[in-house]
A and B are shown apart, each in its own frame.
Chain A
Amino acid sequence: MENLSLQDLPPAGGPNHVQPALGGPPQLPPQMFTTAAQLLDLTDKKLLLVLRDGRKLIGVLRSWDQFANLVLQETIERIFVEDVYADIVRGIYLVRGENVLLLGEIDLDKDEYVPEPFRKVSAEEAHALKIKQTQDRKEPDKIRAKKLQELGFEAEHSGEILF
């Protein structure tokens, strides 16, 4: 427990009542180290959410719980393919916590910044590109996984595609 303080034993060495907080080493508030505290700051902020399947969502975090299940409002999904990107309006999102990979607070001053050479295209165009890319990738991956399996290996994150 982090709010335990480290105390000297009384010389007699009897049972010692550990006093939280007072005295002790400089204690960070124990709440600092809960998921809740970490999400607290992000509430009502515009966030980037990366899911385990590689999706990137941008929206305003409105609510969450101790499992880091999240509710996003005014969500858009942003697809990056090759050198283009596109936004798809998605609305309200409820994300199960286990699917979250990371959650980033967007700097409102750099809100619209997308680095070179990415340019914005229509959602359809980006989506088509994405499908093509995924298929292109699938074939070699399959072969590789098969070979690995023959050798007794299981791919590192089989079952989840990480981006």
Chain B
Amino acid sequence: MRVNLIRPILIPFPLGIPGFFKTLVDHEVTVELKNDISIKGILKSVDQFLNIKLDDIQVVEELKYPHLSSVKNVFIRGSVVRYVHLPSAAVDTALLEDATRREAASQASKPR
């Protein structure tokens, strides 16, 4: 009915709490790096620095990045990630909104 449902959600990186990414483990995501490489793969883990590990990777433009063609999984340093494209079906936006509200509330209540 509505094509745009398939449209991936783009989440600017700083918003994501690692816990949010944890729910996306084993989903296919595309990580766009600050150097413009886009790597698609199965999300395997995310740590507190938002370093990302992807399995079974696929580089969108292989010929531009030939060094990645014999690589099967990658560890990406969080600080070089620009975007993570997520499958919108795997994100509960309402819940995410509430989670952010809660976090904001708890941070407002105990200013550091």
Chain A interfacial positions (CB closer than 8 Å to B): 2, 28, 32-35, 37-39, 42, 48, 50, 52, 56, 68, 78, 80, 85, 97-98, 100-107, 110-115, 118, 156-157, 162-163
Interface residues of A, dominant DSSP: mixed
Given A33-B46, A34-B48, A102-B33, also A56-B67 (CB < 8 A): yes
User: Across the interface, do B70 and A113 meet the contact criterion of CB distance under 8 Å?
Assistant: yes
Indicate which residue in B35, B44, B57, B67 contacts A162 across the interface (CB closer than 8 Å).
Answer: B35
B35 to chain A, nearest CB (A): 3
- Residue of B33, B45, B66 touching A32 (CB-CB under 8 A): B45
Instruction: Select which of A2, A34, A50 is within 8 A of B19 by beta carbon.
Output: A2
Q: With contacts A38-B45, A42-B75 known, is A28 near B68, CB below 8 A?
A: no
Query: Of residues B34, B46, B67, B79, which shows the largest number of chain A Cβ atoms within 10 Å of its Cβ?
Result: B67
Contacts of A162 in B (CB 8 A): 33-36, 80
* Pairwise interchain contact A118-B66, C-beta atoms closer than 8 A: yes
Partner of B63, one of A50, A111, A115: A115
CA distance A69 to B76 in the complex (A): 13
CA distance A104 to B75 in the complex (A): 6
In the complex, chain B residues 1-36 whose Cβ is within 8 Å of any chain A Cβ: 18-19, 22, 25, 33-36
* Alpha-carbon distance between A113 and B70 when the two chains are bound, in angstroms: 6
| Inter-chain contact B77/A28, CB cutoff 8 Å | no
Report the minimal beta-carbon distance from A47 to chain B, rounded to whole angstroms: 8
Using A101-B33, A156-B34 as known contacts, say yes or no to A38 and B72 having CB atoms under 8 A apart: no
Q: Which residues of B contact A34 (CB under 8 A)?
A: 47-48
In this complex, how many residues of chain B approach chain A with their Cβ under 8 Å: the count is: 34
B residues apposed to A, CB below 8 Å:
18-19, 22, 25, 33-36, 39, 44-49, 51, 53, 57, 62-63, 66-77, 79-80
Kindly list the 10 A-B residue pairs having the minimum CB-CB distance in the complex, ordered from nearest: A162-B35, A104-B71, A103-B75, A110-B70, A104-B74, A107-B72, A102-B76, A56-B67, A38-B53, A35-B47
Nearest opposing residue in chain A for B69, CB measure = A115
**Contact indicator A33/B66 (Cβ below 8 Å):** no
Other A-B pairs, 12, CB within 8 Å; known A97-B77, A104-B75, A114-B66: A38-B53, A38-B75, A50-B67, A78-B67, A80-B66, A102-B77, A103-B74, A105-B73, A107-B71, A112-B70, A115-B69, A162-B35
Most interface-central of A50, A100, A106, A111 (chain B CB within 10 A) = A50
Q: Report the minimal beta-carbon distance from A149 to chain B, rounded to whole angstroms.
A: 20
| Closest A residue by C-beta to B74 | A104
- Please pick, from B45, B69, B72, B76, the residue contacting A37 in the complex, using a CB distance under 8 A: B45
